[in-house]
Amino acid sequence: MGGDVTYNEVDEEEKVRNEEEKMVVQKKYKAVVGGGFPPPTKVVVVGYALTSKKIKSFLQPKLEGKEWRHVLEDYGQNHPEVTVLDPPDAIQQVHNRQSMLQDVADMNLSNAYGKVGVPKQLIFKKDPSSIPDAVNKAGLRFPIVAKPLFAKSHELSLAYDEFSLQNLELPLVLQEFINHGGVMFKVYIVGEAIKVVRRFSLPDVSKRELSKNAGVYRFPRVSCAAASADEADLDPCVGELPPRPLLEKMAKELRRRLGLRLFNLDIIREHGTRDSYYVIDINYFPGYGKMPEYEHVFTDFLLSLDELKLTPATLNSM
């Protein structure tokens, strides 16, 4: 190539150029951080498991034949260093309304700030003709809330008489309706964090209304679709939030009993009382987008897990 440039000369020129570029880079970092290179960025890896509803939009055909729950359990066993949120068996417990509120009932929480219980309820899986007699024997008062046994459906019905109950689709849970001023409290729990919002709910039913009405009235997704009541001009007896110490005690105890860290409670205050509360539903991994400051709360929660175990976290959003 003319004999003027040799390979050795090219190597020497590249070495000089590389050293010059290295010095420029070092000078830039020194100007920014006052000497030395910046510390490496800490990366937290979060994975998530998909429900069957997401299969068509997210999963490839070759993955559809796998049972995700078994896959997740196997993964947890093979990677004990990974935090799994939350155990599938614990999630299943709150998907079934027969077992959902059992831990609240067993807790029997009562202190200086109030008492928390669950409404009377009955479970029916077959033979709808037996419902009226069972309701009378149990002493359930009308109106009665009817909900699907499995919490994947949020529809509910309000029955005003015993005969209309026979027309409901089984399996279901019948829950005594408690007047609560038409407002419920959604208590979001993210690890140790607790956030509460007010939501409009079913209105109270007077004895006069009860005597004039019959049949079943259906309400699709009341707790999910109800408008926020946080900005409404509410009677203080209705809109006052449950005491913080009571919620903290309840959340701590339920985290332990349920084995869950990501859930919410639908709580009502019995109308005419100041401290009588009822948990009417528990939802796993609810719509946190409706929770105030959810981005910061959720991010802080995931980072706190990583600081405790210094491992990745797998999020199980059933």
271 is in an annotated binding site: no
106 is in an annotated binding site: no
Residue corresponding to tokens 């200086």: 112
252 is in an annotated binding site: no
How far is CA 15 from each of CA 9, 250, 264, 307, rounded to the nearest angstrom? Answer: 10, 67, 62, 43
207 is in an annotated binding site: no
212 is in an annotated binding site: no
177 is in an annotated binding site: yes
178 is in an annotated binding site: yes
301 is in an annotated binding site: no
CA separation for the pair 163, 61 (Å, rounded): 48
25 is in an annotated binding site: no
186 is in an annotated binding site: yes
161 is in an annotated binding site: no
102 is in an annotated binding site: no
How far is CA 77 from each of CA 44, 87, 88, 312, rounded to the nearest angstrom? Answer: 21, 12, 13, 15
250 is in an annotated binding site: no
The order of strands in the sheet holding 156-159 is 121-124, 172-176, 144-148, 156-159, 216-219
78 is in an annotated binding site: no
176 is in an annotated binding site: yes
139 is in an annotated binding site: no
On the 0-12 / 13-18 / 19+ scale of CB atoms within 10 A, 181 is buried
How far is CA 159 from each of CA 117, 118, 141, 307, rounded to the nearest angstrom? Answer: 22, 19, 11, 50
Secondary element (H or E) of residue 235: none
266 is in an annotated binding site: yes
- 131, 124 in Cβ contact below 8 A? yes
CA separation for the pair 132, 140 (Å, rounded): 10
179 is in an annotated binding site: yes
Query: Which tokens sit at 62?
Result: 């070759």
Q: Which residues are annotated as a binding site for ATP?
A: 97, 175-186, 201
Q: Which residues are annotated as a binding site?
A: 97, 147, 154, 175-186, 201, 266, 281, 283, 287
Q: Which residues are annotated as a binding site for Mg(2+)?
A: 266, 281, 283
Q: Which residues are annotated as a binding site for 1D-myo-inositol 1,3,4-trisphosphate?
A: 147, 154, 186, 283, 287
